[in-house]
Structure 1
Amino acid sequence: MKSINPDDFRVVAPIDLKSIPTELPMEADKEEIQEKLLGVQQKLSKRQDAMYAHNRHAVLICLQGMDTSGKDSLIREVFKEFNPRGVVVHSFKTPNAAELEHDYLWRHYLALPEKGKFAVFNRTYYENVLVTRVHPEYVLNENLPGIEKVEDITPQFWKNRLAQINHFEQHLSQNGTLILKFYFHLSKEEQRKRLLHRLENPEDNWKFSVGDLKEREHWDDYMRYYEEAINATANDVAPWFVVPADDKEMSRYIVAKIIWEEIQKLTDISEPELDANVKSNINFYKNQLKE
């Protein structure tokens, strides 16, 4: 099985999604990939325990991709070995009435991870420069000054939002949050197969939404806006990784391995040592408990 190098997926220069493969041959069968994933899961779990005790760094995992790209199943598989208190998952849906009374980043601030913990955003604040670009009429629900109709939303509006997101992520990074952003690069043909699978298998019917077909009609628009958003916000403090998503097992392993490798760069993490006075009296306390 080929080794995984995070730098092979990191965005370090402007990308063209059409030129990036959606599948990565790894010369490995499903069982071997699952075994490799399990090893990384267990290492991540131990590392998270140390981070929780160290209590200085937080980790924000951002997952973006088209419908059926495998975000939900990846969360289930990659983080299954974690202590439940160490990871929180947030799936951001259409903003509700209360959320629309605040700026678009407000609800994401509320969900940021505490020190020592992981937060996984299943769809993120990037929806505000993706879905709203495909459907700019959604912006009108935000009741913004100077935006009375779709025609008021200029190209500069989107540039401003991307700049705001960069500032937001820089602020988080400077205050101890490691940010890792993953785009699940799914082919349109593979999405077609997965949607058809949901319709043909009764146990998966509940996963199907007519809305998925409607959004599929805007595929090219989404690809263009994903490119623009990734290119405008890929940097050292909040890197983007484009992960081939046609093979779910492989994409899970790639993401897990990248998270593991990036966390290793936090070299100051160590479990706190026992107070010297307590440590010198360990035998005394042990004897007390044996009486």
Structure 2
Amino acid sequence: MGVIKLNAISTRAPKNVDKEKTEAKTTSLLTELDELQNLLYAENKHAVLVVIQGMDASGKDGLTRNVFGDLNPQGVTVQSFKVPTALELSHDFLWRIHQHTPPKGMIQLFNRSHYEDIIVTRVHKIIDDDMAIKRMKAINDFEDLLTKHNSTHILKFYLHVSKEEQHQRLEERLSDKTKQWKYNEKDFEEAKLWNEYMKVYEDCFKNCNNIPWTIVPSDQNWYKEFIIANALHKLLTSLKMRYPGLKK
């Protein structure tokens, strides 16, 4: 992967992509994903970890609901990582993460992830650059451990939303009664640190790319959902899974 400059990547679908046709493709993919997930669970040879990162209001929750919500809840779990508790802070930064890595047969979705510990912590000067470098190496080793020693397949997505779209979505949380529960006045303060966030994200993409990142244009939810459903479908299809026979 080359150097990623987020301001050089569009946050919208290419102009030649038809919304109606893409939504139909997504519906078809989700139908097939239901069967593929069942195969994954039955065969019990592979695990899947889906990492979702993005700025506030980039659509992580909606994506979780619309792409993963119809899959069998026995085979999919979702974990969100918020501010560490006192107990979590008393351990190494990956301690709380490792407890939620997927066993074979499962899809685990991280709505925010271990990358928060090199993103938010750097923007707010909780850790310095030297510590960030050490943590990025630890993350690479951690992901290497999962892939090589537990047959875990990792998909990493950054939901790439524009500053303008983020502002509009945050404003909607003030006026839309169905979204007011999401409102947090701190989100507007974090939005002011946009440039700092872009810088540390780009450094993350540069140094934690043993497993490549997919930058997902996310101003339009229908396109974002297609990109991620399609990537998951391709991964599961590539595993050439089969239902096990009768147990002897």
Give the TM-score normalised by structure 1: 0.81
Q: How does 1:191-270 map to 2 (within 5 A)?
A: 191-235=166-210, 238-267=211-240, 269-270=241-242
Aligned CA RMSD, in angstroms, stands at 1.4
Give the superposition deviation at 1:98. 1.2
1:51 positional shift: 1.1
* 1:1-291 aligned within 5 A: 12-25=1-14, 26-29=16-19, 31-137=20-126, 139=127, 153=128, 155-175=129-149, 176-235=151-210, 238-267=211-240, 269-275=241-247
The AA in structure 2 aligned to 1:212 is D
The unaligned stretches of length 5 or more in structure 2 are none
Is the partner of 2:25 in helix, strand or coil?
A: helix
Change in CA separation of 1:52 and 1:202 when aligned onto 2, cut-off 3 Å: closer
| Amino acid in structure 2 at the alignment position of 1:203 | T
2:169 aligned counterpart, secondary structure: helix
Q: Note if contact 1:41-1:80 (Cα within 8 Å) is conserved in structure 2.
A: no
Name the SS for the 1:243 alignment partner.
strand
Gaps of 5+ in 1: 1-11, 140-152, 277-291
Q: Distance in 1 between matches of 2:5 and 2:198?
A: 9
Identity of aligned residues (%): 41
CA contact (8 A) 1:90 1:111 kept: yes
CA-CA distance at 1:33 after TM superposition: 3.2
* Deviation at residue 13 of structure 1 after TM alignment: 1.4
SS of the aligned residue for 2:225 comes to: helix
Cα offsets for 1:134-169 (capped at 9, x unmatched): 1123x5xxxxxxxxxxxxx3x322111111100000
Q: C-alpha deviations, 1:107-129, integer Å up to 9, x for none?
A: 11001111100000000000011
Aligned length: 246
In structure 2, do the counterparts of structure 1 residues 86 and 220 end up closer, same or farther at CA, with 3 Å as the change threshold?
A: same
* Aligned amino acid, residue 253 of structure 1: F
Matched-pair contact (CA < 8 Å) for 2:54–2:158: yes
Letter in 2 for 1:120: L
CA distance in 1, matches of 2:43, 2:67: 22
CA–CA separation in structure 1 for the residues paired with 2:132 and 2:246 = 51
d(CA) in 2 for partners of 1:275 and 1:115? 18
- 1:202 maps to amino acid: K
The structural deviation recorded for 1:200 is 2.1
CA distance in 1, matches of 2:130, 2:121: 14
Question: Cα distance, 1:27 vs. partner?
Answer: 3.3
Question: Does the aligned pair in 2 maintain the 1:198–1:205 contact within 8 Å?
Answer: yes
Q: CA deviation at 1:202?
A: 2.7
Give 1:275 shift: 4.7
Deviations 1:226-277 (A, max 9, x none): 0000111112xx221000010011101111101111222223x21101257x
Larger-gyration structure (1/2) = 1
Amino acid at match of 1:20: I
Residue identity opposite 1:272 in structure 2: P
- What is the CA–CA distance in structure 1 between the aligned matches of 2:235 and 2:47, rounded to whole Å? 13
